[in-house]
Amino acid sequence: MTDDIFEGEEGGVITLTDETGHESDFEIIATREIDGVTYVALYPLEDNEAGEYVLLKIEDDENGEEMLVTIDDDDEYDKIADIFEDEVFSDIDYDEE
């Protein structure tokens, strides 16, 4: 499912456009398929002094094209964030330069 959007390139950079037309660059940290849905962790490359990441999911639009959408359900977001924290971010050595 992620091939159309990301071509499987964790560590690559993509540009996303928000609802207002503002473009921002993000590094692809990781993708995971969980319960049949693909989720993506992205690191904003601009104005991210706090070092926070963004979690989105891939859904098909009305034309069958894949698109990234926010995770609106709080329970779903918490579950996915916990999985990413355990599987992806626990392996990161924050002391490396």
Cα–Cα distance, 54 to 89 (Å, whole number): 13
In a domain, 12, yes or no: yes
* Residue bearing the bigger pLDDT, 31 or 89: 31
pLDDT of residue 9: 62
36 vs 10 pLDDT, higher one: 36
Whether 96 is in a domain gets the answer no
pLDDT recorded at residue 92: 54
State the pLDDT at residue 18.
Answer: 83
Judge whether 9 lies within some domain: yes
Domain that holds residue 49: 3-91
If one counts the domains in the chain, the total is 1
| Strand intervals (E) in 35-65 | 37-44, 54-60
**Is 53 or 48 the better-scoring residue by pLDDT?**
53
pLDDT (average), residues 49-64: 88
Query: pTM (2 decimals)?
Result: 0.77
Mean pLDDT of the chain: 83
18 assigned to some structural domain: yes
